Amino acid sequence: DIQMTQSPSSLSASVGDRVTITCRASQSISNFLNWYQQKPGKAPKLLIYTASYLQSGVPSRFSGSGAGTDFTLTISSLQPEDFATYFCQQSYSTPMYTFGQGTKLEIK
Amino acid sequence: EVQLVESGGVVVQPGGALRLSCAASGFTFGDYSMLWVRQTPGKGLEWVSLIIGDGSRTYYADSVKGRFTISRDNSKTSLYLQMDSLRTEDTALYYCAKVNWLTKAFDMWGQGTRVTVSS
């Protein structure tokens, strides 16, 4: 199975900060990388698909980049509603989808 | 409105069985692959099983192969997960999700249903 490793596992930041979360795959996955946001008690929500494409309705302060094994999710200016847990997920080795362990973004 | 609503999660003893359901609305259900994903505090998000749109092919994670069966009824726009020979490690919040056929991303999720396997 392809292993997905996120860093950091948790992060404290302030409203207005620029934040970057990293996801690394154990082998090349081309650009088949998706990012999800999950708030407490809620289901995950798709933010970014195919590494860099913004899902409809997602604010433009979210962006994704990367290819091969290394990927990043960037939030350009943190808003109060962005404090949540973020997961990466590979869709290269379908249907053996695998997720990162998550990055919890907390208010500083 | 695109919506997925899971049901059927309960407390069950080890070795027991359970059937989860997921009612879909707001999209042409039979056109999309659907899957079950589970979440635990310890293992995070784990893909469980996938079924393609016409139901002709199914896939399972190794951890559930031979014990779980995914199915769908496109006339009822519903997805199911039959869970047999349940183990304590199957305890989790189970989500159904819709797979985007082009991107393979999970673009719609239900709210989840909780399964607890405990004696």
Q: Mind telling me how many Å the CA of B20 is from chain A's nearest CA?
A: 17
Q: What is the tens place of the pLDDT at every residue in B6-50?
A: 999 999 999 999 999 999 999 999 999 999 999 999 889 999 999
For A102, nearest residue in chain B (alpha carbons): B44
Q: What is the pLDDT of residue A54?
A: 98
pLDDT interval class at B52 (50, 70, 90) = very high
* Nearest Cα residue to A62 out of A89, A90, A33, A86: A86
Tell if the CB–CB gap between B105 and A44 is shorter than 8 Å.
no
**Which chain A residues are closer than 8 Å to B42 by Cβ?**
none
**pLDDT above 90 for A23:** yes
**Mean pLDDT rounded to a whole number for chain A:** 96
Q: From CA B37, how far away is CA A76, in angstroms rounded?
A: 30
Report which residue type is found at B49: S
Q: Which residues pair with B109 in a beta bridge?
A: B97
Q: What is the pLDDT of residue B92?
A: 98
**Which chain B residues are closer than 8 Å to A36 by Cβ?**
106
Tell if the CB–CB gap between A50 and B47 is shorter than 8 Å.
no
Read off the tokens for B9: 């999660």
Q: From CA B103, how far away is CA B81, in angstroms rounded?
A: 24
Q: Does A86 touch chain B (CB under 8 A)?
A: no
Length of chain B as a residue count: 119
Q: What is the tens place of the pLDDT at every residue in A42-95?
A: 999 999 999 999 999 999 999 999 999 999 999 999 999 999 999 999 999 988
Read off the tokens for B12: 């069950």
Report the pLDDT averaged over residues A2-27.
97
Q: What is the pLDDT of residue A94?
A: 86
Q: What is the tens place of the pLDDT at every residue in A81-102?
A: 999 999 999 999 988 899 999 9
Q: Does A42 touch chain B (CB under 8 A)?
A: yes
Query: To the nearest whole percent, how much of chain A has pLDDT over 90?
Result: 94
Chain B residues touching chain A at CB-CB below 8 Å: 35, 44-47, 50, 59, 61, 95, 100, 103-107, 109-112
Contact (Cβ atoms closer than 8 angstroms) between residue A88 and residue A72 = no
Read off the tokens for B42: 């310890």
Q: What is the pLDDT of residue B117?
A: 98
Partner residue opposite A95 with nearest CB, options B59, B100, B110: B59
Report the pLDDT averaged over residues A5-12.
97
For B106, nearest residue in chain A (alpha carbons): A46
Report the pLDDT averaged over residues B59-83.
98
pLDDT interval class at A34 (50, 70, 90) = very high
* Nearest Cα residue to A88 out of A56, A60, A108, A64: A64
Q: What is the pLDDT of residue A8?
A: 97
Tell if the CB–CB gap between A99 and B46 is shorter than 8 Å.
yes
For A46, nearest residue in chain B (alpha carbons): B107
Quick check: helix, strand or coil at residue A52? Answer: coil
Query: To the nearest whole percent, how much of chain B has pLDDT over 70?
Result: 100
Q: What is the pLDDT of residue B101?
A: 87
